[in-house]
A and B are shown apart, each in its own frame.
Chain A
C-alpha cells in the first residue's frame, strides 16, 4: 500500500463518509468518529488516518479491503468512517493494488432497485447531494 504525504490532514474539504464512496474506489481514511473504545478497535484493525482502503461492495454491508484483509462494516460504521479519494495517487506503485470497479452498485449507476434504495437511504440520512 502506498503512503500519502506525511503532512497532517487538518483541512479535508473533500472528506466524505465511506458509505457514500463508489464501489471499486481507492480511498484514504481521513478520520473515524464514535466512542473511544470503538474507534480504538477500528484503528487497530487498520482504519487509521492516512491508511488506504478499497471499497469492494455495498449491500447489506459495506465490504472494504484494508491491511490486505476483507472487512465487513455495517451501514452505521461505514457512515462514521470519513475518507478522501486516492485517485490522484499513481495506482500500482509501492504494493498498491488495482481493482476492477464494479459499477453495478455505484450510486446512480446500478440496477433500478439499487437506485431506488440509494435514493431512499440518502433521503433518510438527510443527504441532499
Chain B
C-alpha cells in the first residue's frame, strides 16, 4: 500500500526514535533520564543503583517521540556482571524485547573524563550515532579545571554537550542535537599492536556477510578472556574455534597482548584528555579524602558505622513515636465514631475489627518506616554506601564473599526485593547466588511493625525508653546480618565453593544529600506501603475477620466465638507444631497470614485481639490486649520470653511471597527459591525452639 507524502511523514513521526543512555556507574544517567522523561527512577550516590533497563518517553524539538532507554552503568562493552550484560546486549541489538538503538547518549562524569572516555570510544567503535553528555560540569568548574568542549567534540567526531542533569541544564541542547540528523560514530582508536591487527583481520574475514555490521565487534570478542558468552550474544558461536586459535597464537607471541591493546587505547585517551582538559595545577587532600581517612579507618570506621546505625534506630523510636501516636489516635477515634454511627452487627464489626483493627494497626507504623527510609536515603545519597562496602570487605571475605555484596545486604534493610536485584552488580555468579540466598536475613522494613509491637509487649506494655528499644532493634538487625554472614560462610563452603572476587569500586565523592531526592524516595515508599496496606493487608484482614466471625457460636462470649470459628479451628489444628515455641493458636494464625507479607502478623493479631483491649485499635492497646491473653491454666501467653522467641522467629524466617517469586526469577529456578524458604524457616524454628526451651529451663 502506498502512502501519501503527508501520511508518510506522520508515520515517520509516529515511530519513536530509540535512544540508549549509557555511561560509567554513578555518572548521572538516571538523573538525566528523570530530567528528560519526568519519571522518578531511583538515583543515589553510589555505583550500581540502576540494575535493569528502564524506558521513558520524551519529545524532541520537532515533537518527535523519543523512547529513552536507561541502562545499567558499565566501564566497558565487555560485561563482567549481569547488569552490565543488559547494557551490552541492548547496544549490540541482541535483546528481543528491546529495539536496536537509533542513537546513543553517552553520559560522562566531567570530573572523571579520562575514565568515561574509554566507554565512549568503544561506543563510537560500534558505529552508532552518539552524543556525549558531560555531566557534573559544575563540579569540574568548582575544582578550577577548564575543558575545551569544542575541541573534544571535534576530536571525537560527535556532539559533546556540557550539562548538569540535577539542575536540568543542557537538556535543551540535547533535544536540539537529537532533532538534527546524527551521523554514525567513527572509530576514535584504530590502533592495536600489529600482531593483534593481523589476528583481527583473520577473524573479521570469517564473519558472515549478513552480519558484516558486527565485524566492528571483532576486537571486543577477540580480547575477551572468555569469548563464549559474548559470541553467544552476538550469534557468532561458529567463530569460537578460530577466535580461540588466534588468542592462543597471540598468547604465545605476545603474552601481554590484551593489556597492550587496552593500554594503546588508554594512551590515546590520555593524550586527548591532556589536550582538552586544563587541570588545576595543585590538588590538595580534598574533603572527601579527609573524611575517608576516618570513615575507612580500621577502628574509627567501625565506630562511625555503629554510631550511624544506633542513631538511625534511636530516631526510628524517638522521632517516629509522635506521629505514630497521632495516627493511632485518629484510627481509635474513627473506630469509636463508627461504633456510634452503625448498629451492632457484622458490618460494624467488619469495619472496626476487620479493616481498622487489621490494616489500621499496620498503617500506624508508617512514620517509623519513613524515618528508616530517610536514614537509608541519607546513606545512599551521601556516598557512604561504597565506603561501607570496603569497611565490610574484611568480614565479608572471611565468609567467602566480596565486600561489594554488602551493598545488596544494606539495601535489603529497606526491602529484600531491591536488595536481591542489586546482587546483579556482582561479577562472580557464585557470590551473586549466595548473596541472593542470604539477603532476606537483613531485617526489612516490613519486620519493623512486628519488632515494635513485640518490644512494646516485651516491656510489659509500658512505653520503654527510646534507648532501650533502639538497642533491642539494633541488636535484631545485627543478628540478621550475623545470620546472613554465617549462612554465606556455610554456602560458600558447600554448594558454591570458590574464592571471593576482589573488591574494586569507584568511590564517589561525598555530597550533601539532596532532600528532594530523599523525599521523593520516601513518598514513593510511603505510597507503596499504603497501597499494600490498602489492598493485600485489608483483603487478608477482611478474610481473617470472616474466619473469626463464622460459624456463629451462640452466646456473647468472644473467646468462645473465636475458639469455635474457622480461624480457631485452623489455629487449634496447627497448635501442636508451634506449642513447643510457646506460641498459642492465635500466634499461629498470625504466622500463617505473615507468609503473604510480614506486616500481616500485626494486622492478624489486631483482628484476633480486637475487642479484647481497652480501646479497639492501636499498637499500645494491642500490646495491652496481647498481655491480657492467658492460657487455659491462667499463665500469660505473651511473657517476655515468648516475645523474644517471636522476635527471633521473625529475624530468621522468610515470610514474603514476593521475595520467593523474585528469587525464582533471579535464579531462574524454583528449586533455589524453595530451598531458601525451607532453610530459613527451619532455622528460625530451631533457634526459636532452642531459646524458648532454654528460657523455660532457666525458669523464665
Contacts and interface: CB of A to CB of B under 8 A. Distances in A.
Interface of A: 1, 3, 32, 34, 36-46, 48-51, 56-57, 59-61, 63, 67-77, 80, 92, 94-95, 97-100, 102, 104-105, 113, 117
Contacts of B223: 40
B507 A70 contact: yes
A111 to B, nearest CB: 10
Interface residues of B, number: 58
A57 B397 CA distance: 21
B223 to A, nearest CB: 8
B112 A60 contact: no
B96 interface: no
B509 interface: yes
A94 B503 contact: no
Contacts of B113: 68
A48 B282 CA distance: 24
Interface stretch (B285-293, B356-364, B436-444): B285-293
B555 to A, nearest CB: 66
B279 A43 contact: no
Contacts, number: 165
A40 B78 contact: yes
Contact of A63 (B274, B279, B507): B507
B266 interface: yes
Contacts of B258: 36, 39-40, 43
Most chain B CB atoms below 10 A, which of A50, A61, A95: A61
B283 A95 contact: no
A59 B292 CA distance: 9
B297 A59 contact: yes
A44 B118 contact: yes
Contact of B262 (A44, A73, A80, A100): A44
Contacts of A61: 296, 387, 390, 393, 503
Contacts of B155: none
A69 B397 contact: no
Given A41-B75, A51-B266, A94-B274, A74 B397 contact: yes
Given A38-B501, A70-B288, A117-B298, A45 B75 contact: yes
B115 interface: yes
B386 A76 contact: no
Interface in B243-285: 256, 258-259, 262-263, 266-267, 270, 273-274, 277, 279, 281-285
Contacts of B115: 45-46, 67-69
5 contacts: A40-B262, A44-B118, A67-B115, A69-B112, A76-B503
B301 A59 contact: yes
Given A49-B263, A97-B283, A72 B505 contact: yes
A84 to B, nearest CB: 16
Contacts of A59: 292-293, 296-298, 301
Contacts of A69: 112, 114-115, 506
Contacts of B391: 60
A112 to B, nearest CB: 12
A114 to B, nearest CB: 8
B144 to A, nearest CB: 12
Most buried by A among B112, B391, B502, B506: B502
A49 B256 contact: yes
Nearest to A44: B76
Nearest to A79: B502
A87 to B, nearest CB: 17
B293 A57 contact: yes
